[in-house]
Structure 1
Amino acid sequence: MSTPQTPPPARPHQADLHVAGVDASGERVVVFRLAHGVDPVRALRGLGWVSEGVRDIDTVTDRGHELTLVYAVRPAAAGDAPAAEVAVPTDPSLVRAPGEDVHPYQRAAAYGLVHSDRGVLLTQLSETTNAAGRWTLPGGGIDAGESPLQALHREVWEESGQDIEDAEVLDIHTQHWIGRAPSGRLEDFHAVRIVFTALCPRPTDPVVYDVGGSTAAVRWVDPADLGRYRITRSFAPHLEAWLRP
């Protein structure tokens, strides 16, 4: 008789994600649920709308935990490129056991591009992650019942001990791949990252309070020195544009 395998640990609750498009008159012209693995901008384009940037994030908790990503949109014109199909990558080092199940997991998270007179706040990923040693923006998963803004304030405090103000939605990026979670669970992972810009008016020497979590170190970095840091692939291509005056 074969020995039963221990089931992989379950992931925490995640919000039900939706997308809304608002036209120039302020009317919501399109609303849909964001399916697993789908990029909201490509989905809007497939429905005949072109995104002109993130407008807001709506949070509803009285009938479940719902987050709606609100985009400014315009009707697609003849010269606009169609929505492109994108293949789902697999981690190059991934080794799958015969018959191993792949678990879909969609994770909404909030991150902050935090400015102060001491620089920009960066956190270094710990050995509990799959990108140990790389640097990223402070942030993390949105807990059940939280708004993205509440999650941002909590995560920045846990990872740096800093209080922030004037947070505004800057951008939303999605990423979809197949790989292993730190627990060893094989996942079809859909990351939805809501990025804010925020101000820290009274910066202090940063301290990691979430000891044993995903953050190994934290520091203020002069924007001119960002090129010396190994930034995660999630944010490295975008930082220059985000920091441009």
Structure 2
Amino acid sequence: MSAPHSVPIAVVAATGPGREVDRFALAHGADPVRELARRGWAVLHVESADLVGGVMELRYAVAAATPTTAGARAVPTDPGLVVGEDERPEPYQRTAAYGVVTSVRGVLLTELSERTAAPGRWTLPGGGLDPGESPLAALHREVWEESGQRVDAPELLEVTTSHWVGRAPSGRLEDFHAVRVVYAAWCPDPTDPVVHDVGGSTASVRWVAREEVGACALTGFATSLTRWLSG
């Protein structure tokens, strides 16, 4: 998994080819779909996630809708978080790419290492974007670093976000905004997985039969992964 890297994010809404109807910077902690709904746009699907001139553009196909009026959500904190009297969380936005990688051997899952906040739990291969790197390039790099596998023709599935206050592995208190670009990808020539990025956030990696994925101790991708695999 790559070191965290922050990049400005722009949300672009279009009602058809060449019919851009809205564009705005994604604020810290905000979710693109909820922000579009607040501005009167119902999301049909996400069309692309590309790095354009140093800005991550998330482009959505939308339809006009009644604007939502939901209030601001409370920002959750890590369980058991202890904050010093003089501590203030540092805002940090991290964009990452992940893959729902499948093959004839099953679904590729990675086990989080002791360097993470959830050691022993399983997640999708992926990680933070390097400076100047596109989500698609990051996906290919991360899958190789964490499993030694190559994938073909990734397709954009979804962009998900999370916002919470917690501690980084370094101990720094962070107001953390995670933006995750998720792809579906096929591995045509699966091999026995091997972690190349030794000493990082990945402790181990393996192919898991589809019917056994639900028995794994998954991270926050668990609910969505079932949907993505059935789609």
TM-score (norm 1): 0.90
Whether 1:42 and 2:34 are equivalent positions in the alignment is yes
Tell me which of 136, 152, 170 is aligned to 1:149: 136
Equivalent position of 1:21 in the other structure = 13
The within-5 A match list for 1:178-193 is: 178-193=165-180
* 1:224 matched to 2:211: yes
> How do 1:9-158 residues align onto structure 2 when only pairs under 5 Å count?
12-24=4-16, 26-61=18-53, 65-77=54-66, 82-83=69-70, 85-158=72-145
TM-superposed CA distance for 1:240, in Å, is 1.3
SS, match of residue 223 in structure 2: coil
- Aligned equivalents of 1:108 and 1:188: distance in 2? 14
How many pairs were matched up? 229
**Which amino acid letter does the alignment assign opposite residue 156 of structure 2?**
V
Q: Distance in 2 between matches of 1:14 and 1:38?
A: 15
Structure 1 window deviating more from structure 2 (52-61 vs 176-185): it is: 52-61
- 1:214-240 superposed Cα distances (whole Å, 9 cap, x missing partner): 00000001110012100002x011111
Paired AA for residue 70 in structure 1: R
Quote the RMSD (CA, aligned, Å).
Answer: 1.4
Match of 2:175, as an amino acid? D
Q: Which runs of 4+ in 1 moved over 2 A?
A: 80-85
User: In structure 2, how many angstroms separate the alpha carbons of the residues matched to 1:243 and 1:35?
Assistant: 30
Runs of 5+ unmatched residues, structure 1: 1-10
Q: Which residue of the partner structure matches residue 240 of structure 1?
A: 226
Per-residue Cα deviation, 1:25-84 (whole angstroms, up to 9, x for no partner): 5411100001100011111111111111111112124xxx2111111111014xx75445
Please list, as runs of the form range in 1=range in 2, the aligned pairs for 1:188-203 lying within 5 A after superposition.
Answer: 188-203=175-190
Unpaired stretches in structure 2, ≥5 consecutive residues: none
CA distance in 2, matches of 1:223, 1:92: 31
Q: Is the 8 A contact 2:105 2:190 kept in 1?
A: yes
Q: Distance in 2 between matches of 1:66 and 1:141?
A: 15
Q: Which has the larger radius of gyration?
A: 1
Letter matched to residue 124 of structure 1: E
Equivalences for 1:170-181 in 2 at 5 Å?
Answer: 170-181=157-168
Partners of 2:180 and 2:62 lie apart in 1 by 20
Deviation track 1:102-150 (CA, whole Å, cap 9, x = no partner) reads: 1000000000000111111000000000010000000000111000000
In 2 relative to 1, CA 83–69 (structure 1 residues): closer, same or farther, beyond 3 Å? farther
Which letter maps to 2:51?
T
Given that 1:125 and 1:134 are in contact with CA atoms closer than 8 Å, whether structure 2 keeps it comes out as yes
Q: Is the contact between residue 24 and residue 74 of structure 1 (CA under 8 Å) also seen in structure 2?
A: no
**Residue identity matched to 1:237:** T
TM-score, scaled relative to structure 2: 0.95
CA change 1:225–1:84 in 2 (3 A) is farther
- Per-residue displacement from partner, 1:160-200 (whole Å, max 9, x unpaired)? 00011110110111000000011100000000000000011
- Asked whether the 8 Å contact 2:43–2:62 carries over to 1, the reply is yes
SS at match of 1:238: helix
Distance 1:133 1:124 in 2: 6
Identity %: 57
